[in-house]
Structure 1
């Protein structure tokens, strides 16, 4: 069942998603060699609670932390730990917030110090593919149009698209219908309607697309151990263009100051 949101509900969803964006901005200040992902998790949890939110991932189906922190070959759902990040790593940070009864959900992949140019190019392409998917998320199109846009952008550049992990509806639940794959055929799948709120989240690998579940029963990694990037926005489907409810502005302000 796909729930269409009212304009008022979309404004509440915007507030929760903006808090996610601000949290990622706060975390961005601390991403550097020597910092642990557990350190980043503590920063995020404190910031969310200080702003009257509740960490959306903490205890969700038993997940033990507030952030998913996935380093290098880890695709998604990495559990924060005490291993220091090192120069040249990348870390995908996925954050969820519950505020005013609605969830926010967004992810950004960070460079730790100076990364290999090949890896930097993967991050840029993954982020660009997210916006290609968002452009297709308008009323009258279908879910397959979003997946096609992401897939076409990435595969034409030699990258591979993770197929088993998908985007999703967002609302009073963190994961709602419909599923939003990052691959697909134009004109296929659920029809998009104004008022649908969905998270679009390309997970793109430098190597092959196959993934495996680690022993912790959460962390997903690439089978060939190639690095993987992940960017995510929550958007409201509109009549002629979609409305991006989450924001990378706070992250990118920090990264600009650091560069």
Structure 2
């Protein structure tokens, strides 16, 4: 099992090589510890870290960080080839580092690992902004529900939780898609009212995000343990109250990391709301 230090914000560390897996996209080096955040194979919202490893004076580029798992038969599976969800009993779970170029690495070797810190910071801003935007979206759409619905951590109807189809974090931003289907309408949501007031909803989200950014609230990742499979949560102390929900990604430690967060709502397809979140980093 791989122990991870990225939840605390670490971008450098060392690890012992457990395995080197041949893969068509490049050799994957599995280590017993790492600062690298891997892309999740079941919910690939935040991309894996990139960076470098050093061994015996050789510097090797890491093109991606991925999940790796070993079944009872002792065979490793990597990324999307893993046939089970993370943490399933009977499997061992690791972080793999996909190399951009071939390198000679042996099991047991100790390597120094360095994450591209600038890219990590931009992805962390994008991920925190994504969560803030989703909470602001819930608040902006709250009056469009005609029935009681499950609520988000701030007590608004959980449009995000009920309608989100995909979420993709990118440096200093994110793109989320929401399905406005029959099940959502049966739950009491009014898509027609959303369509007729889209600009108003977008403005309300931006106003809420300005308020939250101005609060410079504390943001953090809390983890139940050091392994890649231990539960992690994002927490933030917003003016309206404390929020906490499961999240395996990386985040900023304060909302003063932002100068501005804005969103754009798109309903070109009336059955699919697309929210694009953009960040202007703080100074």
> Given the two structures, how large is their TM-score scaled by the length of structure 1?
0.26
Structure label with greater radius of gyration: 2
Structure with the bigger RCO (C-alpha within 8 Å, sep 6+) is 1
Instruction: Name the structure with the higher strand share.
Output: 2
